[in-house]
Amino acid sequence: MDTAEEGRIYKCLFTGSVSSLLTLPLDMLSTDNLLADCLQGCFVVTCTLCAFISLVWLREQIVHGGAPIWLEHAAPPFNAAGHHQNEAPAGGNGAENVAPDQPANPPAENAVVGENPDAQDDQAEDEEEDNEEEEEAGGEDAADANNGAQDDMNWNALEWDRAAEELTWERMLGLDGSLVFLEHVFWVVSLNTLFILVFAFCPYHIGHFSLVGLGFEEHVQASHFEGLITTIVGYILLAITLIICHGLATLVKFHRSRRLLGVCYIVVKVSLLVVVEIGVFPLICGWWLDICSLEMFDATLKDRELSFQSAPGTTMFLHWLVGMVYVFYFASFILLLREVLRPGVLWFLRNLNDPDFNPVQEMIHLPIYRHLRRFILSVIVFGSIVLLMLWLPIRIIKSLLPNFLPYNVMLYSDAPVSELSLELLLLQVVLPALLEQGHTRQWLKGLVRAWTVTAGYLLDLHSYLLGDQEENENSANQQVNNNQHARNNNAIPVVGEGLHAAHQAILQQGGPVGFQPYRRPLNFPLRIFLLIVFMCITLLIASLICLTLPVFAGRWLMSFWTGTAKIHELYTAACGLYVCWLTIRAVTVLVAWMPQGRRVIFQKVKEWSLMIMKTLIVAVLLAGVVPLLLGLLFELVIVAPLRVPLDQTPLFYPWQDWALGVLHAKIIAAITLMGPQWWLKTVIEQVYANGIRNIDLHYIIRKLAAPVISVLLLSLCVPYVIASGVVPLLGVTAEMQNLVHRRIYPFLLMVVVLMGILSFQVRQFKRLYEHIKNDKYLVGQRLVNYERKSGKQGTSPPSPQSSQE
């Protein structure tokens, strides 16, 4: 009921009519659309809870990481942030940021480039002197800012921990025998209403009135996301208003109001930046990927427009998901490059593995124009890579191989499976099996290293790309001395400089890290340009191979099975990827075994053949029979009763049921591994720990396959025997027999769920009974040593570990 009330309050606030506000008390007690209101209320409460947790976490970031300089001092946000470029943690975010380890002036030709900690220490001392002069000029404002920071720090963590310990699920749900949960319900409803009013209602109407006044209302309505865009516009206008009010409060020296407005501006700024980084940027990448790959699927922009008009939410989500996957794999490839290249080569990219890197601190401290510049630069870089590795290869393939494209992704009415099943197979079976293999990553890393060594020797950039081992060893002692010198020069910050200064002092204690010296050859800029050209050509060739070779191999292998019939390219691509992977794996294994002799090779082949036979048996049972039974059971319990009327006969497609069963099996296994300890979790963990090399066929069949298959077969066969063998003996009509036959599976599911809920409630009431009895009659507990019973002794000590008085 709490969630239903939240949903109705949310609808009332955003309806915009006085009548809905007057009828709100009656709507709160109504039972109409109860399920829909409960679902909407759950979503609203979840969003509210997440936003509240994010605010608390952002407050901790501001308190412990230090507030920006313009908030500590009486300076406007843009001016203060403009002259303080190093206030974010190390590990810059974009190409425009020269990292602390990058030399400011280009060195002479053929010179060794290295760190210069003395110059950085002098620069840090100059900045500290400038900060001291600013503090003397605005002493009153700095004192007020520091007092505000001290007020933020004056909170007792023990009291919060004690309150969290007292707030249990039993106490919140009223299972402890008290009525405190009613007070919790009242406070939750009140706080959620206030939260919706402040953080959703006000920004939405501010944006709505602004868009109506500017005449952009029709364009926003045509986007199919009127509420989201209007709310974001409201937040942008609110941020501008907060900046103006902060400047006015600074002029009239309203110190507490200035700090409050500054903190509110930081909250709105970080929220908008998170939306841009996580929401807008992947969405742009997804749409750009789709636009550049239209010719590969023989589609047009008109088709994409029609799909967006028919299902705008689904279309935007799919494009956002594709963009997130693209950004994720791009970041993973950058991390792999950092493992190969010399530290300092990728100074213009953020190092996600850097312990000092904190994106939230950058959002707090850096000004808006720098975030905007980074965003534009990221869009240009990611968009250029898509053009280089997707659009240009497609054009080359269409010119060289006219009959190769487009890919066949259209399914016909007589297709045995659906597109959803194929996508599930690709995402749940093909890609994880290839990407989760450790040797696949090692192969890619080896290729990158080989390419880097080749390019380094061809362009005389080996020292720049990989570093010189001799120079690294010679400079090890010098780096230790420089780090010690930096630690000695970093004095303890003076009281009054604020927590931010102490935080930066801690970050800078280790001296300049993440950089190794290198030898700078002649014509260095020209060589770097040639390196970039060589890299682009390599990426283009690699993209051409990845787009053609797996599909060629898959089409050729599938032609022996299906002839000239058109096959979905997910089939061919998956088959080709597996064949290429197995071929490369077999070649690498044979190369590794060749030096060991013929006898060792035959022994290895025998061992691997036995292991492959065991793996095939396990795969047939766990990846074939179990998903098929699970998918068929799901079809009988959920899909058929919802989709097929009683006067029609349901049709079952085993291939599609197996594909859906694979997804269900993975979800059940994941939930089992995350849940409490029981026999199935223990067996799965043991099988996973043994791996393929030490596979125990007898253990898997006896402990995992046989029990699971028995339970699934009983769930399928027992209802069928009852409906087809027992019910006709009772003499019921044919309609009743059909009803029982079609509804017995969901009925038994409902019975099982009810039995589970009843057993859970019985355990809860037993716990409640024990809790009330202990509160009423328990005097104390005494710990007694446990001693094992001995047959030689006539008497045995008490065995329980504790006794109650």
For residue 196, which of 6, 2, 23, 20 has the smallest C-alpha distance? 6
Q: What is the dihedral of CA 630, 631, 632, 636, to 10 degrees?
A: 100
Three-class secondary structure assignment of 500-538? HHHHHHHHCCCCCCCCCCEECCCCHHHHHHHHHHHHHHH
pLDDT of residue 128: 43
pLDDT of residue 13: 55
Q: Regarding predicted confidence, which is higher, 117 or 212?
A: 212
DSSP track, 333-378: HHHHHHHHSPTTTTTTS--TT-TT--HHHHHHHS-HHHHHHHHHHH
Q: Tell me if 684 sits within 8 A of 673, measured CB to CB.
A: yes
Residue with tokens 């061809």: 458
Q: How confident is the model at residue 154 (pLDDT cuts 50, 70, 90)?
A: very low
Q: What angle do CA 82, 86, 90 make, to 5 degrees?
A: 145
pLDDT of residue 203: 87
10 Å CB burial of residue 753 (0-12, 13-18, 19+) is exposed
The most confident of 217-226, 452-461, 482-491, 649-658, by mean pLDDT: 452-461
Q: What angle do CA 82, 88, 90 make, to 5 degrees?
A: 130
The answer as to whether 282 is a domain residue is no
10 Å CB burial of residue 771 (0-12, 13-18, 19+) is middle
Q: Quick check: 594 pLDDT over 70?
A: yes
Q: Could you give the CA distance from residue 95 to residue 375 in angstroms, rounded to a whole number?
A: 11
Distances (CA, A) of 745 to 284, 379, 388, 662, 739: 46, 52, 54, 21, 11
User: Which residues constitute the domain of residue 709?
Assistant: 615-744
**Domain count within the chain:** 1
Task: Give pLDDT tens digits for 743-777.
Answer: 899 998 899 989 989 998 998 889 888 888 888 88
For residue 68, which of 495, 349, 368 has the smallest C-alpha distance? 368
Q: Could you give the CA distance from residue 399 to residue 406 in angstroms, rounded to a whole number?
A: 12
pLDDT of residue 101: 39
pLDDT of residue 592: 80
For residue 226, which of 239, 211, 236, 240 has the smallest C-alpha distance? 211
pLDDT of residue 584: 84
Tell me what percent of the chain is helix, strand and coil, each rounded to the nearest 5: 75, 0, 25
Q: Could you give the CA distance from residue 541 to residue 549 in angstroms, rounded to a whole number?
A: 12
The answer as to whether 703 is a domain residue is yes
10 Å CB burial of residue 75 (0-12, 13-18, 19+) is buried
pLDDT of residue 502: 42
The answer as to whether 660 is a domain residue is yes
Distances (CA, A) of 171 to 174, 283, 439, 551: 5, 43, 51, 59
pLDDT of residue 515: 67
Tally DSSP H helices, then E strands, for the chain. Answer: 37, 4
Structure tokens at 722: 């009852």
Residue with tokens 């300089």: 69
For residue 364, which of 53, 51, 64, 133 has the smallest C-alpha distance? 64
The most confident of 137-146, 188-197, 385-394, by mean pLDDT: 385-394
The mean-pLDDT minimum among 124-138, 425-439, 670-684 falls in 124-138
Q: Regarding predicted confidence, which is higher, 202 or 111?
A: 202
Q: Over range 477-488, report the average pLDDT.
A: 45
Q: Over range 166-191, report the average pLDDT.
A: 63
- The pair phi, psi for residue 705, each rounded to 5°, is -65, -50
Q: Tell me if 367 sits within 8 A of 81, measured CB to CB.
A: yes
Q: Over range 636-663, report the average pLDDT.
A: 85
Q: How confident is the model at residue 713 (pLDDT cuts 50, 70, 90)?
A: very high
pLDDT of residue 511: 37
Which strand (E) or helix (H) includes residue 626? helix 626-634
Q: Could you give the CA distance from residue 261 to residue 662 in angstroms, rounded to a whole number?
A: 53
> pTM of the predicted model, to two decimals?
0.65
Sign for the pseudo-dihedral over CA of 146, 148, 149, 153: positive
The answer as to whether 286 is a domain residue is no
The answer as to whether 554 is a domain residue is no
Distances (CA, A) of 4 to 29, 45, 79, 552, 578: 10, 10, 48, 55, 50
Mean model confidence pLDDT for the chain:
75
pLDDT of residue 516: 76
Q: Could you give the CA distance from residue 802 to residue 446 in angstroms, rounded to a whole number?
A: 61
pLDDT of residue 540: 94
The answer as to whether 697 is a domain residue is yes
Q: Over range 557-568, report the average pLDDT.
A: 78
- The pair phi, psi for residue 406, each rounded to 5°, is -85, 165
Task: Give pLDDT tens digits for 312-332.
Answer: 888 999 999 999 999 998 988
Q: Could you give the CA distance from residue 687 to residue 697 in angstroms, rounded to a whole number?
A: 10
Structure tokens at 620: 């047939």
The answer as to whether 622 is a domain residue is yes
Neighbours of 220 (CB within 10 A): 19
Task: Give pLDDT tens digits for 221-243.
Answer: 888 888 888 889 999 999 999 99
- The pair phi, psi for residue 500, each rounded to 5°, is -65, -40
H helices within 427-516, ranges in order?
431-435, 438-458, 462-466, 469-489, 499-507
- Residues of the chain above pLDDT 70, percent: 70
Q: Quick check: 46 pLDDT over 50?
A: yes
The answer as to whether 733 is a domain residue is yes
Structure tokens at 60: 């901790």
